[in-house]
Structure 1
Amino acid sequence: MLLLLSVICIYPFINIAAVSVSDGVQVMSGKVYLWPEGFNLETYKYILNNPRLGITQGFYNSVFYAVVGTAFAVMMTFITAYALSKKRLKGRYAIMMLFLIAWIFDAGLIPNYLINQKLGLVDSRWIMILPGAISTFLLIVTRSFLDTLPYELEESAFIDGANDIQIMCKVYFPLSTPVLATIGVFYSVNIWNSFLTPMIYLRDKAMHPIQLILYNLVIRPDPGSTTLENVVSDGYTLLPKNIEAAVIVLAIFPILLVYPFAQRYFTQGMLMGSLKG
């Protein structure tokens, strides 16, 4: 039963990948299912070398947003969680309550837009990085993880003359690899898959991520954008369906590579981060 369920879940991805490297004639005749027919990479060459589609620039933008945004978000979340995990911090419960209130009672799209506009984030790459730098849920997970670490570690470091910054960087940070990898996966996936934020705030198409380009090409074609047409390249027919499939693969595949590297930390980070200190 689980095997059947796995096949059902995986089949659409395999089919899309097969279509992206198949001859359009074979795709049109309905012969492509799990294995490509008329294997070729012309579709990828076409979309990556066609500046009108903006795929290459969009891919670069997504990588930039995901790498920089994840690094910044993990750093800010860890620093904040470290401070809130210290019982000697006065008012830490009030500060945590403010995070919870802002998380539960969202102001809405228009107030958020006005705030971001006043901050100069409209039509700026920083809109993809700064507003989502601290997730309250991931902050709670990280703080709970830090609460499980022995207080004696900090006490020993203080006796040796270390200050808070040294303790955070040299004692707690190395021990927090599981939870940092866990929240890093969450942040990177969230940033990579984001299309609503750039659709609202980024007017300059040169800043659009791959997900927004995919949205405009496949789901809601932009009247002012390039229309996908049949193309013949090196003897292979490229249909709009081939092109759409190739863009979908480029939009999905890179983020899948994050999981194998973080998998060994993921379960440990989630389980330890879910414990109450």
Structure 2
Amino acid sequence: MDWVIFAFLFIYGLIIIYPFYNAFLISISPDEVYTKTPFLLFPKQIDWSNYKQVFAPESTLWGGLKVTLVLLFVGTAYQLFFTVITGYALSRNKWVGKNFVMNMILVTMFFGGGLIPYMNLISKLGLYDNFLVMIIPGAIDTYNMLLMRNYFASLPPELEESAKIDGANDLQIFVKVYLPMSLPMLATIGLFFAVGNWNSWYNAMLFIKNPDYMPLQYVLRELIVEGSSNMERVTEAATITEGFKMASVFFTIVPMMCFYPFLQKFFVKGLVVGAIKG
């Protein structure tokens, strides 16, 4: 029975890994090799020209990377701040309007306002074709806010009472008592936000016209989906081939692949704590 399980897991692993492996082989192969043999097992001829084009200084992918890095750091900090303080406020004892605010937030998990009203709202707020449109609307993630709320609510109330006896005010209790105890959850939620901002492209597609504001994933989307019809918007130095597309894909996924092994423990620890406390 053990060998059956091993064989199943081995085959399953190959199914997961092979698309990435094949994409990498395509990225280092001349276009004529890929045209003849779309599914490669071994490199028949190695050609690094696609990566030279991707990493060329004039490539628009670099501009998209700069925008994405701003979203990664600024957007993650912004989302984490508002999500955590909202979760903390809703975890405290009853205050006037608490249930109403909580219900209004929960409604957004199940009912959307519709795309057209959303676009009208963005336009009225002056965020259309504005870099901030990729940051401001995502201030609070309802699911992550609920995780933080449940976690804060599960902590012993004696902690707050002891801090008040020692003369701490509400802000000091939050900063010096609750935040240090919630670091695993903060790390996990922060990583979720970071991955989301790294992969952000939808709001850019809807509201951004200025190519200087386009994040990396949207540039990649234009390259792969639109292809040569929008080549001048994607890169000024490359010919759009399948190899170039695959090299661009690796340009976007390798940074996350490099960091994930070192951050995985925060994902696991935070999720376990959230499951127990929530």
Distance in 1, matches of 2:277 and 2:101, equals 18
Alignment gaps of 5+ in structure 2: 1-7
Q: 2:10 aligns with which of 3, 17, 34?
A: 3
Q: 2:251 is matched with which residue?
A: 250
For residue 120 of structure 1, report the CA deviation from its aligned partner: 1.6
Q: 1:49 is matched with which residue?
A: 56
For residue 133 of structure 1, report the CA deviation from its aligned partner: 1.7
One-letter identity of the residue aligned with 1:46: Q
Residue 18 in structure 1 maps to residue 25 in structure 2:
yes
The superposition leaves residues 119-172 of structure 1 with CA deviations (integer Å, 9 ceiling, x where unpaired) of 121111111111012111111111111122222222221111111111211211
One-letter identity of the residue aligned with 1:262: L
Q: 1:32 to 1:125 in 2, by over 3 A?
A: same
TM-score (normalizing by structure 2)? 0.86
For residue 109 of structure 1, report the CA deviation from its aligned partner: 0.8
Q: 1:266 to 1:40 in 2, by over 3 A?
A: same
For residue 249 of structure 1, report the CA deviation from its aligned partner: 0.9
SS of residue matched to 1:226: helix
The superposition leaves residues 168-214 of structure 1 with CA deviations (integer Å, 9 ceiling, x where unpaired) of 11211111111112212222222222222101111001111111111
SS of residue matched to 1:71: helix
Question: Would you say the 8 A contact 1:148–1:275 is kept in 2?
Answer: no
Distance in 1, matches of 2:262 and 2:145, equals 22
Distance in 1, matches of 2:94 and 2:262, equals 36
Residue 181 in structure 1 maps to residue 192 in structure 2:
no
Distance in 2, matches of 1:35 and 1:73, equals 44
Q: 1:175 to 1:37 in 2, by over 3 A?
A: farther
Question: Would you say the 8 A contact 1:18–1:32 is kept in 2?
Answer: no
Aligned pairs (5 A) from 1:53-72: 53-72=59-78
Q: 1:78 to 1:49 in 2, by over 3 A?
A: same
Q: 2:263 is matched with which residue?
A: 262
Question: Would you say the 8 A contact 1:195–1:212 is kept in 2?
Answer: yes
Q: 1:235 is matched with which residue?
A: none
Q: 1:93 aligns with which of 95, 99, 102?
A: 99
Question: Would you say the 8 A contact 1:26–1:32 is kept in 2?
Answer: no
Residue 145 in structure 1 maps to residue 151 in structure 2:
yes
Higher helix fraction (1 or 2): 2
SS of residue matched to 2:106: helix
TM-score (normalizing by structure 1)? 0.86
Q: 2:3 is matched with which residue?
A: none
Aligned pairs (5 A) from 1:128-167: 128-167=134-173
Moved more, 204-213 or 10-19: 10-19
One-letter identity of the residue aligned with 1:13: F
Distance in 1, matches of 2:178 and 2:207, equals 37
The superposition leaves residues 81-125 of structure 1 with CA deviations (integer Å, 9 ceiling, x where unpaired) of 111110143332221101012332211111111111121211111
SS of residue matched to 1:215: helix
Distance in 2, matches of 1:257 and 1:139, equals 28
Question: Would you say the 8 A contact 2:223–2:230 is kept in 1?
Answer: no
One-letter identity of the residue aligned with 1:4: I
Q: 1:207 aligns with which of 204, 209, 213?
A: 213
- After superposition, the CA RMSD in angstroms is 2.7
Question: Would you say the 8 A contact 1:141–1:273 is kept in 2?
Answer: yes
Q: 1:22 to 1:225 in 2, by over 3 A?
A: closer
One-letter identity of the residue aligned with 2:14: V
Q: 2:118 is matched with which residue?
A: 112
Alignment gaps of 5+ in structure 1: 233-237
SS of residue matched to 1:225: helix
Q: 1:37 to 1:149 in 2, by over 3 A?
A: farther
Distance in 2, matches of 1:228 and 1:162, equals 55
For residue 240 of structure 1, report the CA deviation from its aligned partner: 0.8
Distance in 2, matches of 1:40 and 1:222, equals 21
Distance in 2, matches of 1:227 and 1:37, equals 32
